Structure 1
């Protein structure tokens, strides 16, 4: 019995996500008489697109929360501003028919580079005031939220710009393979390769830890966790294959998740970020340049906010001054629901991703059920509060 309880505790977030999905599926089928399903191929693809920006922003937000319990309230406004700049560069300026901007491909890559650089500069702006001047992050990013939203309105003159070029939209909204007739076969071949690589990777990592004398999960917990993950990957691939194939945006998300998970778990800077969140004074006495680390965390947040902006304008095929409204709350909520501690020093990239998916399933499921938008916000607020309460109570139990 204790083994089962320990296993459930170790994988509580994953189990909660599965239970919520099952409950929504039952409720949706009962309400629609089986005509609509949460797990229909088309709806599953929509969930990926609808939550792509949340996952990207949550990964950046996670590093701020882990590092010192900080958050960034401005990311929604940053998404709006960078989307506005992308719209001006890719839609408005080509109308001038200059030699440079009349070339769609050249203009597209130039605009992407400018947007990414702008995101980095915005992150550096926040990082300077927070890391070196030591102004509270809440104040700096709240000011940024107002500043960058105002600039987005100025850049776009209060109007929405569209449409973007087909070449740009294909970077984020296309599918692999391009031929829908081969979608299922190609998706399953790619999935088979991923499963093989994943199995070899987790086995190698476990054996390597055992060899070095590190503590590892019990075999029952190890198998339970990874069997669920592999089953989810295979089931997701079947649904994607039955629709249009693998969305390009999913490949971008996976690349970001893998890169940042590697940084967090396998690099010196990742270990230092955890140390900074655990105890900043101790980290500083150990030789960690805490100011620079905090500065770089905000630069990274600005970069990922720029990536999220580029994804959003492609998804909506427009740049709006009101884009990104509430995005910061979704990203913060995903991190805390995913197990990040409000005190810093605790959290994983995988947990943030699960938290983002959890939020996405809540949004999508309640929308299909026809739940009023106001009640949707209330439910998400209660879920977020519950996640933080669990974290605080766990901390108190450990201290006692």
Structure 2
């Protein structure tokens, strides 16, 4: 009896250890992000996580995170897009000309700019998908072309200021319907609702896995994960609520992350994108319209680059020829730090966001410490290399 009991205990311990190991592998970048936040929180004497700075972190990184979502899909298909920073600058310049110089309404301007982004994406997607010119070459040409056109249409000058309603996209906050005094109550209510939704989804997912006989992780680890995520959601909300509440841009980001995660994980289009990145020939033989899917991935990237350009222009309150400089490198780095494979077929939207946050927290933390931009660039390069090396080491170990 005792030997049976000890065998059961041993199997439980093994399951517990395996679950922990799997979680560490799956959430290695989340662990890295938490450690980086902790390090800079100590080094900056607590400035990093002050409400004002947390809000600034969101506003500063929003346009890179939006680009990273689109870039992740491009990288999953096995391509790369070097033109996104220049496209963002070009769209921002057009928005400035329409709104500031010709007094076109904000709604009309935003629609025209997003449509222009889609057309630019379609132009590049056509050469890549149908003419079969490598994406690296096409988007490098696009990078030079749209940077040049930005200089031409702005005539080397900045255009400012934008109307207040447009600036609010990037710097406005959701109003508190409960009229809290020192605390933004609406933010806390939203956090509570989000917590309940998260709990319900996770428990339902675990029960479904059990029902269909899939192996589920150890219960203690599952409960610890739930408590950890709920604590993060509510602490984050509390920090925002003690300042101005939820920035408008955070809502836009949340919608984009939700929609793109759903498309990537739960739809046929998402499965096709992963199939092309995994093995394009096999995907084609399985009936996937590889050219069409690749084309639409680049159209989507163009739209998100346009949105990023609009948000950057709104935050800067100016359309400038230098806008979008090196945005493409930040977005690509965010994807690779977030677990994308350089060979395609692997990556996730949430990974891109975590990678973007790692870069954002490091930029912000190093700026608070007074490190010059030269050192920041050097350290970011090393972190990118380390993240990809760590990812490859992990894959080789689990293979």
Q: Same fold (TM over 0.5)?
A: yes
What does 1:15-34 correspond to in 2, within 5 Å?
15-29=31-45
Match of 1:377 in 2: 377
Query: Counterparts in 2 of 1:274-293, with a 5 A limit?
Result: 274-293=274-293
Residues 143 and 218 of structure 1, relative CA distance in 2, 3 Å threshold: farther
Is contact 1:342–1:391 with CA below 8 Å preserved after alignment?
A: no
Give the number of equivalent residue pairs.
381
Q: Distance in 2 between matches of 1:62 and 1:334?
A: 9
Residue 57 of structure 1 pairs with residue 55 of structure 2: no
Work out whether residues 177 and 183 of structure 1, in 8 Å CA contact, stay in contact via their aligned partners in 2. Answer: no
Aligned pairs for 1:221-300 within 5 A: 221-300=221-300
Q: Deviations over 1:306-348 (max 9, x none)?
A: 1111111111111111100011111111111111111111111
351-360 or 183-192, which moves further after superposition? 183-192
Corresponding residue number in structure 1 for 2:89: 80
**Partner secondary structure for residue 102 of structure 2:** helix
Gaps of 5+ in 2: 1-12
User: Counterparts of 1:15-164 in structure 2 under 5 Å?
Assistant: 15-29=31-45, 37-68=47-78, 70-94=79-103, 101=104, 107-164=105-162
Query: SS state of the match for residue 164, structure 1?
Result: coil
Q: What is the match of residue 386 of structure 2?
A: 386
* Aligned residue in 1 for 2:8: none
What is the TM-score normalised by the length of structure 1?
0.91
Cα pair 2:59 2:170 within 8 Å, conserved: no
Could you tell me which residue of structure 2 aligns to residue 343 of structure 1?
Answer: 343
Corresponding position of 2:328: 328
2:68 and 2:352 in contact (8 A); partners too: yes
The offset of 1:185, in angstroms, is 1.5
Contact 1:11 1:225 in 2 (8 A): no
Kept in 2, the 8 Å contact 1:28–1:37? The answer is yes
- Counterpart CA distance in 1 for 2:292 and 2:32 is 37
Q: Residues of 2 paired with 1:163 and 1:180: CA distance? A: 32
1:14 paired with 2:30, answer yes
**Per the alignment, do residues 53 and 226 of structure 1 end up closer, same or farther by CA in structure 2, a change over 3 Å counting?**
farther
Runs of 4+ with deviation above 6 angstroms = none
Aligned to 1:173: 171
* TM-score of the aligned structures, taking structure 2 as reference length: 0.91
Unpaired runs of 5+ residues, structure 1, are 30-35, 95-100, 102-106
Q: Look up the match of 2:5.
A: none
C-alpha RMSD of the superposition: 1.8
Separation of aligned partners in 2, 1:50 and 1:241: 19
> Is residue 336–residue 342 contact of structure 2 (8 Å, CA) maintained in 1?
yes
Q: How far did residue 386 of structure 1 move?
A: 1.3
The superposition leaves residues 208-237 of structure 1 with CA deviations (integer Å, 9 ceiling, x where unpaired) of 343344555444444444433222211111
Please give the alpha-carbon distance, in whole angstroms, between the structure 2 residues aligned to 1:140 and 1:312.
24
Residues in 2 aligned to 1:222 and 1:67: alpha-carbon distance in whole angstroms = 33
Report what 1:97 is aligned to.
none
Contact map agreement 1:334 1:353 (CA 8 A) in 2: yes
Shift in CA distance, 10/394, structure 1 to aligned 2, threshold 3 Å = closer
User: In the TM superposition, what is the alpha-carbon distance from 1:182 to its structure 2 partner?
Assistant: 6.6
Change (3 A) 1:368 1:200: same
What residue in structure 2 maps to residue 365 of structure 1? 365
Once residues 222 and 121 of structure 1 are traced to their aligned partners in structure 2, the CA distance between those partners, rounded to angstroms, is 45
